[in-house]
Amino acid sequence: MNERTKNIKNNTNQLILENLQVVSLTYGTVILNKEKFIEALSEVSTLNGLNSIKNRIFVLKEIITNHKKDQEGILNIDPNGDTISLRKDVLISELNQILESQTIERAKYYVNRLKESIQKVKTSKVNDINLLRWKEYGEVITDSLWILDKRDTSGAHLGWYWGNFIPQIPHQMMLRYTKKGEWVLDTFVGSGTTLIECRRLGRNGIGIELNPEVAQKAKELIEKEQNKDNVISEVVVGDSRVIDIKQILNRYNIDKVQLLIMHPPYHDIIKFSRDERDLSNAKNTEEFLKMFGAFVDNATPYLEKGRYFTLVIGDKYSKGEWIPLGFYCMQEVLKRGYLLKSIIVKNFEETRGKRNQKELWRYRALVGGFYIFKHEYVMLFKKRER
């Protein structure tokens, strides 16, 4: 390996073969010259024998799997050319599918499908997921039970705020329900988790927070997160029930957002402040729900029709009785005409206090005949088209 290649390898974490001859690989990703790869597949699809197709595909697979020298230059990286980055395991399984075909028609069908998935992009109205390469989106969760055992604490996500949510929640919601460059509104932004994630994914984010000190700290942390897509991240201090959202959006010449996220206090489980406008200070469940409804009413006009509203909420116990805050809040949202799209059950991280007292809580649960909370809800609603 010459010095130049060594440097590239060290600097970019890419495995680039000597003289950049074949393919370059980042972790599990192959970067190919798009035009050449399409040309190679087009050529394969004109062949008349199943064996000839398989032989060509075998060569392609060898080059990709073993970084073999690309004698014919099929996949050569052209520094000026258009490249495509594909997940290596998905691509290999697509090539295997062709190799395992029993008929020429099947083989050609798979070759053309692969070619089309590289030439074209097919996305829905609400996200950037390329449906022609859907297998590449392994990180996008589609099940309604989320067991997330590790909080993402990378970058500006410090997890310092008691009562924050894990970054994977806004991350998942934005991947599925927004496109790059769209707008996200979080009316209980707390420590800014949503806005940090917005920066990572190239979405503009507006957060509202009642507590000025918390808002200030959130702003500082958000600023620490890289902003490679140059998105807007604004934290506004105020009461989300009455704040003039229209005026905030006007500053950016927009009148709607494409995703609404709410992570309200789970009533009084954590008292966030002494401010009586703070939802965690609602006197009882009825008042909590009435206040909660006001948050939904104030934000709803600014969510684009056909777009999504995510509510993250947990239940609570009060005097030995399970209070299903999640379902009560869901009811409040449904009363306002939203469509229920999903109730995701997510495991609940143990709070620092409880972690050390696991045994004691288990004993208490056995004595008191109750269950220890281990889940919360990520409820998903859609604003109707009309």
Ligand X SMILES: C[S@@+](CC[C@H](N)C(=O)[O-])C[C@H]1O[C@@H](n2cnc3c(N)ncnc32)[C@H](O)[C@@H]1O
Which residues of the shown chain bind ligand X in the complex (CB under 6 A)?
Answer: 161, 163-165, 188, 190-191, 193, 208-211, 214, 239-241, 263-265, 272-273, 277-279
Cα(343)–Cα(146) distance, rounded to whole angstroms?
11
Count Cβ atoms within 10 A of the Cβ of residue 143 and give its class: 0-12 exposed, 13-18 middle, 19 or more buried.
Answer: exposed
| Angle at the Cα of 240 from the Cα atoms of 224 and 278, rounded to 5 degrees | 95
Cα(14)–Cα(339) distance, rounded to whole angstroms?
45
Cα(380)–Cα(340) distance, rounded to whole angstroms?
6
Nearest to 214 by CA among 235, 242, 234: 235
Radius of gyration of the chain (CA): 26
Which amino acid is it at 288? F
DSSP, res 68: -
Q: Minimum distance from CB of 117 to ligand X (Å)?
A: 36
Taking CB atoms, the residue at the shortest distance from ligand X is 190
Nearest to 285 by CA among 245, 332, 246: 332
Length reported for the chain: 386
Nearest to 315 by CA among 348, 271, 273: 348
Query: Which helix (H) or strand (E) covers residue 339, if one does?
Result: strand 339-347
DSSP, res 86: E
What does 298-314 look like in DSSP terms, one character per residue? HHGGGEEEEEEEEEEE-
* SS3 track for 223-287: HHCCCCCCCCEEEEECCCCCCCHHHHHHCCCCCCEEEEEECCCCCCCCCCCCCCCCHHHCCCHHH
Q: Minimum distance from CB of 279 to ligand X (Å)?
A: 4
